[in-house]
């Protein structure tokens, strides 16, 4: 730009007039004045350190914030600088740091120790909460009177001393090298506690102007004692509850000496990494000692009473459990011995004795068995799935329920053979022959000893008819009026005989036979005997029969036929008789 301006001026001075030069300068100013101003300002910002520092300070907070949010590289880069600055400040003027942390040092240590002990007190309270001894009752009264927790009173009376925490601290940097704590001790920020211990040590050394060889070896925080054992490179601090013996100091000294002897090179080369010093933990854990006061053990009456009560409860509980178990076993035996019930599983479930198995519909209800066992029916639940049992008792019961035999028939079962005996109707006999072989558990059905009552009635009716006789006057075929009731009875029996024959699948032939005496000619006697048979047939007035055939015949004086089987002693041979013949299944 400067070269361009000089060239323009040269051209103007060489060839233009003063007015033209002035006009050219005005034009140049109008065209290039803003850019020239900005270039001058930019050059000043780059060349002036004050302006540059102001600009960087304006954006530095935001830049630090953004970089910290991205990763930890800025923190890692600034850590050595900050540590160097703090170390230099402490070396130059320790009083400044001591005055800064002195107001908060004591409260922080007390709070850390209080929190560490609270967990132990609560745990001990849970252990001793139900102590029923006489001494425990006295301690509870003391706790109520003093307002202190019961566990704390017990600890005061029983604990001699207890090392709750041990710290190994680097002397040069004040950093925590290792830390261990007893069980049931609430652990706070051990790094903060170690820093406070170092600060206390420096505070005492600087405040009282002690010699370098003189160091703080102990201090008290409430009911806790902090013992410090110095070493060339590191120091050991133990937080102790109670009154520690002098032997514990010796143990601390031996521990710090052993650590320096075995790990001196690691302590001297310590740069902030505590992992190589992890093997020192067993030495520190050996310092976690505890000792209780020896007390004469006396059995409290309350303890005796409680023990007796517990024993009684155990006896009652054991007897009740044994009795319940016996009742349950008796119930299971009764169920298993009951025909038609099979127990598959039995167990205690949700406070009940749950029984699962199978039950035939014909088996007995298990409820009476449960009541007979002595168990509470509400405490027993049964789940019995239905099934068909093949035990002889239930097979016979099932046959009786299905066949329903009449009282004149008896049913017996021999293994898988069902046999019926007695007298029954033909309908029942036919049903039994059809149904019995299909019953579960029945392989064969026998009924040869079952007499059909219909057949018996058939035989009875046959016998009755063959005993009937109708007598006539000499040379007469007219039925006397007095024999009309007998005719009606015979007619009814013939109809019954036809019905029974139809049921039994039989056919019947009834012969009405007329007889005559020998007082007249044979031909007349033959005709008269036939007329007498026809007269009885007509007088019977029987409708059409389906299975019975009625025949009339005359035998005259009876010379061609033998005497009737059931002929009664009558005064003459002038009568009508019946002869019945049964045909069908059994030929009669």
- The tens-digit pLDDT sequence of the chain (588 residues) is 444 444 444 444 444 577 888 888 778 777 777 777 877 777 777 777 777 677 777 777 877 777 777 777 777 777 888 778 778 877 777 767 665 665 555 555 555 555 555 545 544 554 444 455 556 676 677 777 777 776 666 666 666 788 888 888 888 888 888 888 887 666 666 677 766 777 776 666 666 655 655 677 777 877 788 888 888 889 888 888 888 888 888 988 899 899 988 988 888 888 888 888 888 889 888 888 887 776 555 556 777 788 888 999 889 888 878 888 888 888 888 888 888 888 888 888 887 888 889 988 888 888 888 888 888 888 888 888 898 888 888 888 899 899 899 888 899 998 889 999 888 888 888 888 889 899 998 989 988 888 777 788 888 899 999 999 999 988 888 998 999 999 999 999 999 989 888 888 889 999 999 999 888 888 888 899 999 999 999 999 888 888 899 999 998 876 444 454 445 544 467 899 999 998 875 444
Sheet holding 417-424, edge to edge: 409-414, 417-424, 444-452
pLDDT of residue 121: 52
pLDDT, tens only, 121-146 = 544 554 444 455 556 676 677 777 77
Phi, then psi, of 448 in degrees rounded to 5: -65, -20
Question: For residues 478 and 466, what is the distance between their CA atoms, to the nearest angstrom?
Answer: 21
Phi/psi-derived region of residue 541, left when phi > 0, alpha when psi is between -120 and 50, beta in every other case: left
Are the C-beta atoms of residues 557 and 496 closer than 8 Å to each other?
A: no
What letter does residue 472 receive in the DSSP assignment? Answer: -
The CA radius of gyration of the chain, in Å to the nearest whole number, is 66
Question: For residues 580 and 528, what is the distance between their CA atoms, to the nearest angstrom?
Answer: 22
Phi/psi-derived region of residue 116, left when phi > 0, alpha when psi is between -120 and 50, beta in every other case: alpha
pLDDT of residue 109: 57
* Cβ atoms < 10 Å from Cβ of 524: 13
Could you tell me which residues are beta bridge partners of residue 224? 221, 241
Which structure tokens are listed for 9?
A: 């001026």
pLDDT of residue 157: 64
Question: For residues 44 and 495, what is the distance between their CA atoms, to the nearest angstrom?
Answer: 152
Question: For residues 202 and 94, what is the distance between their CA atoms, to the nearest angstrom?
Answer: 9
Question: For residues 575 and 469, what is the distance between their CA atoms, to the nearest angstrom?
Answer: 6
Are the C-beta atoms of residues 373 and 399 closer than 8 Å to each other?
A: no
Any idea what the Cα angle at residue 553 is, between residues 547 and 557, rounded to 5°?
145
Question: For residues 370 and 328, what is the distance between their CA atoms, to the nearest angstrom?
Answer: 9
* Element of type H or E holding 411: strand 409-414
Could you tell me which residues are beta bridge partners of residue 355? 346, 382
- Taking CB atoms within 8 Å and a gap of at least 24, the contacts of 542-546 are 542/491, 542/494, 542/495, 543/495, 545/494, 545/495, 545/498, 546/498, 546/502
Question: For residues 130 and 177, what is the distance between their CA atoms, to the nearest angstrom?
Answer: 41
pLDDT of residue 531: 93
Sign of CA dihedral 437, 439, 444, 447: negative
Residue whose entry in the numeric block shows the structure tokens 């240590």 = 109
What letter does residue 228 receive in the DSSP assignment? Answer: E
Cα 552 to Cα 125, 183, 514, 526, 533: the distances in Å are: 123, 127, 8, 12, 6
Length of the chain: 588
pLDDT of residue 509: 93
Question: For residues 107 and 586, what is the distance between their CA atoms, to the nearest angstrom?
Answer: 125
Are the C-beta atoms of residues 491 and 536 closer than 8 Å to each other?
A: no
Which structure tokens are listed for 448?
A: 């040869």
* Element of type H or E holding 522: helix 522-540
pLDDT of residue 534: 93
What letter does residue 378 receive in the DSSP assignment? Answer: G
pLDDT of residue 164: 85
Question: For residues 149 and 153, what is the distance between their CA atoms, to the nearest angstrom?
Answer: 7
Q: Where are the alpha helices (DSSP H) in 161-300?
A: 190-208, 246-268, 281-285
What letter does residue 275 receive in the DSSP assignment? Answer: G
Question: For residues 238 and 185, what is the distance between their CA atoms, to the nearest angstrom?
Answer: 14
DSSP string across 320-377:
HHHHHHHHHHHHHHHHHHSTTEEEEEEEEETTEEEEEEEE-TTSPPHHHHHHHHT--G
pLDDT of residue 84: 80
Buried b (16+ CB within 10 A) or exposed e, 106-140: eebbeebbeebbeebbeebbeebeebebeebeebb
What letter does residue 567 receive in the DSSP assignment? Answer: -
Are the C-beta atoms of residues 542 and 552 closer than 8 Å to each other?
A: no
What letter does residue 296 receive in the DSSP assignment? Answer: -
Q: Which residues contact residue 359 at a Cβ distance below 8 angstroms, ignoring those fewer than 6 apart?
A: 340, 341, 342, 366, 384, 385, 386, 387
pLDDT of residue 10: 46
**Per the confidence metrics, is the pTM higher than 0.75?**
no
| Residue 166, helix vs strand vs coil | strand
pLDDT of residue 511: 94
Phi/psi-derived region of residue 137, left when phi > 0, alpha when psi is between -120 and 50, beta in every other case: alpha
Sign of CA dihedral 465, 466, 467, 471: positive
Which structure tokens are listed for 460?
A: 């009875």
Give the CA dihedral 13, 18, 19, 21, nearest 10 degrees: 30
């Amino acid at each position: 730009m400067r070269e361009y301006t000089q060239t323009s001026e040269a051209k103007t001075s060489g060839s233009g007039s003063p007015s033209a030069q002035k006009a050219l300068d005005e034009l140049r100013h109008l065209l290039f004045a803003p850019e020239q101003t900005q270039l001058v300002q930019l050059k000043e910002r780059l060349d002036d350190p004050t302006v540059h520092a102001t600009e960087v300070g304006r954006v530095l907070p935001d830049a630090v914030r953004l970089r910290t949010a991205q990763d930890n590289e800025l923190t890692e880069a600034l850590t050595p600088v900050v540590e160097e600055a703090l170390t230099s400040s402490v070396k130059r003027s320790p009083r400044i740091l001591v005055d800064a942390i002195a107001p908060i040092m004591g409260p922080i240590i007390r709070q850390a120790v209080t929190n560490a002990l609270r967990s132990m007190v609560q745990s001990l309270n849970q252990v001793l909460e139900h102590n029923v001894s006489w001494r425990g009752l006295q301690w509870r009264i003391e706790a109520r009177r003093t307002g202190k927790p019961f566990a704390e009173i017990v600890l005061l009376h029983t604990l001699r001393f207890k090392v709750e925490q041990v710290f190994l601290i680097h002397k040069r940097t004040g950093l925590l090298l290792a830390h261990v704590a007893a069980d049931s001790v609430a652990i706070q920020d051990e790094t903060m506690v170690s820093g406070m211990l170092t600060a206390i040590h420096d505070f005492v050394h600087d405040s009282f102007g002690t010699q370098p060889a003189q160091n703080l070896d102990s201090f008290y925080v409430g009911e806790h004692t902090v013992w410090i054992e110095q070493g060339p490179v590191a120091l050991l601090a133990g937080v102790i509850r109670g009154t520690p013996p002098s032997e514990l100091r010796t143990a601390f000294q031996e521990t710090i000496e052993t650590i320096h002897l075995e790990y001196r090179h690691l302590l001297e080369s310590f740069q902030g990494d505590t992992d190589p010093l992890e093997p020192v933990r067993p030495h520190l854990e050996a310092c976690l000692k505890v000792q209780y006061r020896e007390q004469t053990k006396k059995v409290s009456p309350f303890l005796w009473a409680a023990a007796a009560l517990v024993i009684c409860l155990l006896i009652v509980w054991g007897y009740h459990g044994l009795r319940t178990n016996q009742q349950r076993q008796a119930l299971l035996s009764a169920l298993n011995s009951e025909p038609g019930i099979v127990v598959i599983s039995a167990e205690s479930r949700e406070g009940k004795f749950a029984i699962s198995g199978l039950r035939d519909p014909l088996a007995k209800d298990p409820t009476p068995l449960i009541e007979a066992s002595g168990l509470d029916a509400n405490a027993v639940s049964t789940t019995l799935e239905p099934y068909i049992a093949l035990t002889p008792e239930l097979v016979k019961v099932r046959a009786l329920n299905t066949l329903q035999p009449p009282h004149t028939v008896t049913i017996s079962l021999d293994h898988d053979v069902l046999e019926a005996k007695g007298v029954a109707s033909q309908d029942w006999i036919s049903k039994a022959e059809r149904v019995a072989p299909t019953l579960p558990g029945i392989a064969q059905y026998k009924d040869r000893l079952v007499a059909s009552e219909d057949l018996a009635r058939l035989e009875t009716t046959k016998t009755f008819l063959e005993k009937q006789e109708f007598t006539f006057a000499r040379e007469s075929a007219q039925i006397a009026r007095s024999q009309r009731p007998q005719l009606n009875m015979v007619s009814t029996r013939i109809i019954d005989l036809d019905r029974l024959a139809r049921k039994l699948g039989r056919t019947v032939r009834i012969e009405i036979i007329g007889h005559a005496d020998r007082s007249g000619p044979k031909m007349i006697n033959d005709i008269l005997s036939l007329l007498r048979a026809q007269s009885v047939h007509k007088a019977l007035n029987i409708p059409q029969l389906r299975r019975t055939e009625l025949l009339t015949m005359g035998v005259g004086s009876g010379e061609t036929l033998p005497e009737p089987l059931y002929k009664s002693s009558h005064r003459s041979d002038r009568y009508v008789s019946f002869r019945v013949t049964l045909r069908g299944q059994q030929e009669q």
